[in-house]
Amino acid sequence: MAGLRERKKEQTRQRIAAVALRLFAERGFDAVTVNEIAEAAEVAKATLFAYFPTKESLALEGVGGDDLAGIVARRPADQTFLEALRTHYRALAAGQAPDAGLDSLLARVRVIQDSPALLNAANGLLYQQRQALTQVLTEEYSPTAAALMAAQTAATLLTLQEKYFQRLLGGTPAQDASRALARDVELAFDLLEHGLTHAGGR
């Protein structure tokens, strides 16, 4: 019974999220109310808030989702933090499903880009992600070094994400965008590990 209950809860969560994204994409984030989302998803407002505590969280599902601090904290003892992150993002780039959920992903990106409130909220989530990574790195490095390394790493990973979405939004086929992301991951971590001069020009 517990398994069935959990599946039903997940189905309800997914339905609410899908309905919210559709309404946001059609009318814009600011023009849609929580009451309208709950009504369209056929759930009570209280039920909606049980799954998504704020209206912003409905649109920001998955943003800032990579647990950088967790990846670094759980890495093997003989692996550097950059090696652990490179391994994670290399696998992420290789495992991109070209067509699965692509339309929803791009719709979410457009909704966020079109709303200053959502951009601010997304930046807040990314800041929390960076702070958590800093905290983990302070176990091995000085507070200043940890903060600087976390800032550079987080900015690099955000740029990778932005470039990937820019390609998709610009009409690049999904498989080509995934291959470009894989190349970018290697370049990004080469630069982080060896310094800015490692790029070697174009």
How many Å apart are CA 35 and CA 39, to the nearest integer? 6
Q: What is the pTM of this model?
A: 0.82
**pLDDT greater than 60 at residue 24:** yes
Asked if residue 30 lies in contact with residue 65, where contact means CB atoms within 8 angstroms, the answer is no
High-pLDDT (> 90) share of the chain, %: 72
90-117 pLDDT, tens digit per residue, is 998 887 655 657 888 889 899 999 999 9
In tens, the pLDDT along 47-95 reads 999 999 999 999 987 676 678 999 999 999 999 999 999 999 999 888 7
Mean pLDDT computed over every residue of the chain: 90
Question: Which tokens belong to 125?
Answer: 């989530």
Residue 37 has pLDDT above 60, yes or no: yes
Stretch(es) of the chain classified as CATH 1.10.10.60:
2-59
What mean pLDDT comes out for the span 167-195?
92
pLDDT band at 197; cut points 50, 70, 90: low
Q: Contact 156/133 with Cβ under 8 angstroms?
A: no
159 vs 101, which has greater pLDDT? 159
Q: Nearest 5°: CA angle at 189, between 150 and 84? A: 70
Q: Would you state the structure tokens that stand for residue 118, as one six-digit string?
A: 């959502």
CB 157 within 8 A of CB 89: yes
Mean of pLDDT values over 175-182: 92
Closest CA to 118 of 47, 64, 41: 64
Write the Ramachandran bin of 63: left for phi over 0, alpha for psi from -120 to 50, otherwise beta: beta
> If you classify domain 2-59 with CATH, what class do you get?
mainly alpha
